[in-house]
Structure 1
Amino acid sequence: MSGRDDDERWRSIVDNYGERARLDDDGSVAPPYVEEPEQLEQPTPFQEHDHVPEPDPDMEEREAASEAEDRFVPPPPAPLPRTTPLRLAAWTGVLGAPLAMLVLAVLGLGPPTWLVLTICFAFVTGFVYLISTMGREPRDPWDDGAVV
């Protein structure tokens, strides 16, 4: 294929492509005629509107009624579980003993030896009780604690 054949083919494609341009009397190409749709009068944002809708007097009642119907009221929560007095005393010893020692240290008080021994005994006893009453079997690895 020669360059001349290519030029002729391109010229043929261009000559036969799409609509033909209309030529004016002076030989210039006129733009294709496009029908314009009817222009509807649309109010601009700055124009005054003649029609203002009347407020519906029953609308507020209907909205209040639908809100009352659609409102979810959850059931009352289950009561908090009660612990045994022995377990409560153990937790008090485990958490209260270090707190009591911290307060005594911050205040700079020198407590008697019997008080320090009692606080240490409360901590150790509470810790041992809580560890000994733990469940023996391992927890299910797929249990995330959710209750349905």
Structure 2
Amino acid sequence: MQPDHHDDEAEDQAWRAIVENYGERPELDDPPPVAPPDPATPASAAPFGGRFGDPRAFSPEPEELSAEEEGFVPPPPPPLPRVEPDRMLAWIGVFGAPAVLLCALVFAIGIPSWLGYLLVTGFVGGFIYLVVKMPREPRDPGDDGAQV
């Protein structure tokens, strides 16, 4: 049995009517008038060829950004924390030993085997020392890690 072509057209018309009459149609006011472009400056002379407009029109003037006029002076930064000598030695082993080995490899510098073993031991030992000395509890016990 072949589908009736008349039924398909009626169904398509019913769907079109539903789509055309769906929802309320908003009442639009007349659109605001568009200002004609200024004939004094050709589009090619404007920044970006006139395609994006003048970016200076959207950025504030430099004098508006001046902090000296308002008298704002930021407070001095806090001093850097002091690193204990044992941790500093561990950090030097973690970062310094691979740097020395990498430089020796790149510049084809031959190093004695005992120095190579010492550098590898310094890297592994420094890493293990830093992991062992890591704090087990959070800095702020009431902090769950979420930040806004």
TM-score tier, shorter chain, comes to 0.3 to 0.5
Per the normalisation by structure 2, the TM-score is 0.48
Per the normalisation by structure 1, the TM-score is 0.48
> Greater CA radius of gyration, 1 or 2?
1
